[in-house]
Structure 1
Amino acid sequence: MYSPCLGPILANGGDPGAPYSEFSPATAPLAVPVTAATGPKTSEPRLAITAPSAILIEATSGRVLYEKDAHAKRPPASITKIMTMLLAMEAIQQGKIKLEDKVIASERASLQGGSQIWLEVGEEMSLADLLKAIAVVSANDASVAVAEHIAGAEEIFVDMMNRRAAELGMKDTHFVNATGLPAPGHLTSAYDIAVMSRELVKHPKVHEWFTIWIDYLRSGKNILVNTNRLIKDYKGCDGLKTGYTEEAGYCLAATASRDGLRLIAVVLGLPDSKVRFQETAKLLDYGFRYFVGVPVAKRDQVITE
């Protein structure tokens, strides 16, 4: 079998923007790329991104293709929920919980405010529907309900979030809640968001939720409309999460796949919702234009004609 790695497509060895690097082995155990230039295309000026913090990576290898203040610690708003969903998917994979589980909403979950699906105290909803609500409309009440279902209490779940972040090498990150609602000390970086996004996209099921544009809950009584417009406006986009608070600004972590190449782009701290989508699309365009997935044989693989 073959695993993709990156070959930059650069004219005359041109500089595509900020120097690219790789995740450390602790952060990305699969990051053992063999780089191969595949020949020049057209040259392009240095990529200009206005977001205070931004990053573009290739998902399989973890190679960083562009970065701008990628380790600056910033409030991530609802992008936090990438970690919430990651822990849920890993718990499902480990057999600890099931998508069919019925989750009973607590008072704490019902009182979250912000983006929500208006869970009532004692209301029962499947774990699958709660995760869908998190993915599509960034529901805070659903996030807390999922956290409590997994760990018994949001505080215990937050400890799990921070432990998982440490395991992934997310050195810029400290979580305080499962939602991303404003809280002192709740910080991460564009780099760390890319790291946890890279883990989440290893779970194919999440893309079924992230690519929903419009759906319903409660037997059609409540409509869900996706907060990520790139799902319908950008070819190959199948995730991930928007975020906004006054302190965080407009944020987005997005992923798209074309011709076997999956990219993850993160922008943080923008002043306008429309601009975050434009900036993210610019990053993805850059990646797909200047890089291509190259098949590389695995160690000890016998190559035949």
Structure 2
Amino acid sequence: MSRKSFRSMIFLVLIALAILAITINVYDLKINFSGLFGKDKIDDYASKYICVLDRENGQIEYEKNADSRAYPASLTKIMTAIVALEHIDDLSAVAPIDVATYKEMVANNASMAGFYGKERVTYRDLLYGTILTSGGEACNSLAIHAAGSVENFVKLMNDKAAELELKNSHFTSPEGLHHKEQYSSAYDLAKLLDYALENGHFKAIFTKGTFKTTATADHPQGIILESTVLSKLAGMPQGDTEIIGGKSGTTPEAGQCWATLGVKNGREYICIVMGTPLNDISNPDMKQMDDTLRLYDRID
């Protein structure tokens, strides 16, 4: 072999070795990045605000803008329900639907449980109507019967927020219709829900799939109320997580919001997703549900 040919061969070998070294380094880099930012680490969630909380130890499993203020929409009703429960002695007592706020909710196209004005329902009916079907007439009637007026009740809501040190929360109504001064954060709502779930009545309501209300003159057979969260999850693959309760909320300003309670490996987790873009309010794409399922899946 000539000296020239030998030098050419050595040059080609060196190039080959350099390419191999670069390939190995890139491969190692990809492995390292996948370990750090693998499929369960990359933030490609549609929701703008997220908080996943381990109820057993209070650890945050995942967060995204968790302390940022956001519109809570009907997740507000988590606060409404727990405040009402702490001011009600007998859930079986009659608490008729308030006519003025009923008309107001209808005029504002709020979500409704299906009760009529003056219908003689019970506090229990109102609570299930507030959480399961997000009824505007239900939560406002709760507020009036529990505190004498909506204004008094909203003060109780903000007092509770201060007591729980919800530093990025302020409430202006029990039902959560959009108002620029009504806001919360994913972390605050996770903390609030964790507190509320310590109340046995609240947890029973929050984790109920369906509930039949008391028979009344207006509804002799009662009304079947259905969870707006659990009904959407029926038949959906959830892996090794069981989502056992939830509350939904949607307005054009707030986007799509979900607060859920899931059980995985015998532990309870809270998942709050907020600000998921709303493509069509009459036919939503349910990206908040997709995010929720993937967030539970990422928990070890």
Q: Which TM-score applies when normalising by structure 1?
A: 0.74
| 2:262 aligned partner | 256
- The answer to whether 1:104 aligns with 2:116 is no
Aligned residue for 2:13?
A: none
Q: Is the 8 A contact 1:211 1:231 kept in 2?
A: no
* 2:114–2:223 contact (8 Å) kept in structure 1: no
Q: Structure 2 unaligned segments of length 5 or more: list them.
A: 1-31, 214-218, 279-283
Which residue, out of 63, 66, 69, partners 1:70? 66
- Deviation above 6 Å: which 4+ runs of structure 1? 14-17
What's the CA shift for 1:240?
A: 2.1
Residue 24 of structure 2 corresponds to which residue in structure 1? Answer: none
Higher helix share: 2
Q: 1:146 maps to which residue?
A: 142
Aligned to 2:175: 179
RMSD value, Cα: 2.3
The share of aligned pairs that are identical, in percent, is 28
1:2-30 CA distances to partner (integer Å, 9 max, x unpaired)? xxxxxxxxxx9x9777xxxxxxxxxxxxx
User: Which residue identity is paired with 1:208?
Assistant: A
Once the two structures are TM-superposed, the CA of residue 110 in structure 1 deviates from its matched residue by: 1.3
Say if 1:76 and 1:188, in contact at 8 Å, map to a contact too. yes
Kindly name which structure, 1 or 2, has the bigger radius of gyration based on alpha carbons: 2
C-alpha separation in 1, matches of 2:64 and 2:73? 19
**Aligned runs of 1:67-216 on 2, under 5 Å?**
67-92=63-88, 97-111=89-103, 112-113=105-106, 114-216=110-212
1:241 is matched with: 247
Bigger strand share: 1
Amino acid at match of 1:46: K
Q: Matched residue of 1:121: which SS?
A: coil
Maintained 8 Å contact 2:82/2:202: no
Q: Provide closer, same or farther for how the CA distance between residues 106 and 262 of structure 1 changes in structure 2, counting only shifts above 3 A.
A: same
Distance in 1 (CA, whole Å) between partners of 2:116 and 2:75 is 24
Residues 61, 82 of structure 1: CA spacing in aligned structure 2 closer, same or farther, 3 A cutoff?
same
Deviation at 1:53, TM superposition (A): 0.7
Query: Deviation at 1:278?
Result: 0.8
Q: How many residues align?
A: 248
The separation in 1 between residues aligned to 2:151 and 2:50, in whole angstroms, is 29
Correspondence 1:228 to 2:229: yes
